[in-house]
Amino acid sequence: MIEALICHICEANPYSHGSSAQLQQPDLKVYTHNLHTTLMSPYSKPPVDWKILPPEIWTLIFRHATLVPDLISTELCNYGMGDPIMSQQRKRHKQSLRTKQSLVRVCKTWYSSAIRFLYEAVLLGRGKSLASLYEGLERSHRQLIDSATGELPLGWWTKRLDVAMRDSTNDSNSDMALVGSIVAMLPNLSILTFDIHGHGYSPAYGGLGILPSSILQSTSPENLNVVYWYSSNVMPTAEDWLEFLSSRPHLRSISDFAWGEYLPVTDAVPNFPSLTSLHLSHSWSVEYFSRLELPHLQHLTCRANYNFMQNLAPFLQNHGANLMSLSTDCHASAWNMLPLISETCPNLISLELVTDDWSSLPDNRSALPPIRTMKLACRHPQHGHLYRRLFDFIVEAITVCPTLKTIQFSDERSIGNLNEYLRVLQGQLKILSDAGVTLENAEGLLIALS
């Protein structure tokens, strides 16, 4: 409703497509009429006087209209790896950006209130946009210093930066230098991700291939909490990465990447006093982190192949007692892990299983640890007989694991057409209901099956 309302107002405003320099004060009579037309029914009360509505109320409305759950959260397990599942969040992020762009174009008043949300999570999607973004950030910073008004520069509001260029300019080296300059303008950056797919950045196409050290070193040691790598086109050197890790004591979540033959030296061991979440996909990293002290590690994500799983035992033997949640792919070879998980992770509360289809769910359910929540995700839409396989698995899981009371589907595509097959699932659904087991969507809301 709020998004529709804002779009309605933006379309009616003659300045909604102008630059910020062209913005005018709002015509409150026009806005009141639009709001009245949108919201009023024959039984509604007369519209309120919007002139007396405090700016704080508009700020709350803007926050609600543009919110993407967990996008800027650094809480445990609220952020994920570069799994296809996360493309849903990327889609919502882009939709949110379009709404924010509309808000700041309405009028000066809305610009002042909404500009912080536009710059809160920045997505670098194209190489040719880097220069204009840097110029805008630098101009804002310079103007506020010169004017001494006490206002905050645009870069102050940025909590998350996704470096995800899908193309490059003619000079990829200059592009990466601009990324470093942009990062330096973001003092409160807490989440930094890399998903660079543009061919121009890959060494195979003449690109740099190595991440300039200035990018990581420009981040704030006090505020940076999360660093993720989704692709291996551009990576830091082992020396730069270890120097970065050693100088960022407040990191709470990191991922590994495909380093190839350039592995970190074993005698350089960084300290991770704040690390709570680790996302691993490569054999070198599970071996490396097995040797480190991780006193506060609580969440582990494994997106890995057979060789990785073979090396996981030492890691879980060293760190499994601290884990409260674990997420892993359903590879056929991986499910020899379940007894190991039960043995080494006595405090596990949540287990997430990610699969390509429900037929790949493990058969040895008797080895499930005594968890409270099971998260299930499937990367592809499913059909009737596979839903039956899914709910047979859930019913048996709650039978062998009586502590299990919540089933959460962490991918919307997993159950997109579930309602079409309820008739053939009535028996399993009744068992779940009688056992007090709840079904939730990715946002933790109860799923109503009707």
pLDDT at residue 233, as a whole number: 77
Check the CA dihedral 38-42-45-47 and report its sign: positive
DSSP single-letter state for residue 267: T
Co-location of 96 and 126 in the same domain: no
- One-character DSSP codes across 276-320: -EEEE-SHHHHHHHHTS--TT--EEEE---HHHHHTHHHHHHHHG
Co-location of 92 and 176 in the same domain: no
pLDDT at residue 15, as a whole number: 32
**138 CB contacts (<8 Å, ≥6 apart)?**
181, 185
pLDDT at residue 1, as a whole number: 46
pLDDT at residue 367, as a whole number: 79
Q: Which two structure tokens, joined as six digits, stand for 365?
A: 């359910």
**210 CB contacts (<8 Å, ≥6 apart)?**
234, 235, 236, 237
pLDDT digits (tens, 9 = 90+) for 245-287: 888 888 999 988 776 555 655 555 677 888 999 988 887 788 8
Domain boundary among 114, 133, 167: 114
Co-location of 78 and 25 in the same domain: yes
Co-location of 103 and 144 in the same domain: no
Predicted TM-score of the model (pTM): 0.78
Co-location of 23 and 89 in the same domain: yes
Co-location of 195 and 222 in the same domain: yes
Residue-number span of the structural domain to which 53 is assigned: 1-114
Q: Is residue 325 part of a domain?
A: no
Co-location of 107 and 123 in the same domain: no
pLDDT digits (tens, 9 = 90+) for 378-389: 877 777 778 888
Q: Extract the runs of DSSP E, i.e. beta strands, from 110-178.
A: 121-124, 160-163
pLDDT at residue 77, as a whole number: 45
Q: Is residue 92 part of a domain?
A: yes
pLDDT digits (tens, 9 = 90+) for 143-187: 776 566 667 888 999 999 989 888 877 788 888 889 999 999 999
Q: Is residue 353 part of a domain?
A: no
Q: Is residue 77 part of a domain?
A: yes
Segment holding 139, helix H or strand E: helix 130-147
Co-location of 72 and 139 in the same domain: no
pLDDT at residue 42, as a whole number: 53
Residue 191, beta-bridge partner list? 160, 226
Q: How many residues are recorded in the chain?
A: 450
Co-location of 103 and 126 in the same domain: no
Q: Is residue 396 part of a domain?
A: no
- As a whole number of angstroms, the distance between CA 354 and CA 76 comes to 19
Neighbours of 295 (CB within 10 A): 11
pLDDT at residue 348, as a whole number: 94
Co-location of 128 and 199 in the same domain: yes
Co-location of 88 and 149 in the same domain: no
Adjacency order of strands within the sheet including 191-194? 121-124, 160-163, 191-194, 226-229, 253-255, 277-280, 299-302, 325-329, 350-355, 373-378, 406-409, 438-440
Co-location of 93 and 139 in the same domain: no
Q: Is residue 3 part of a domain?
A: yes
pLDDT at residue 323, as a whole number: 95
**Mean pLDDT, 10 residues at a time, the chain of 450 residues:** 48 38 42 47 56 71 74 57 53 79 76 79 87 90 69 88 84 87 94 85 72 90 89 81 86 80 59 87 82 90 72 90 90 67 92 85 80 88 80 89 90 75 80 88 74
pLDDT at residue 347, as a whole number: 94
Q: Is residue 388 part of a domain?
A: no
Domain boundary among 94, 114, 134: 114
Domain boundary among 85, 114, 143: 114
Q: Is residue 227 part of a domain?
A: yes
How many domains, in total, are found in the chain?
A: 2
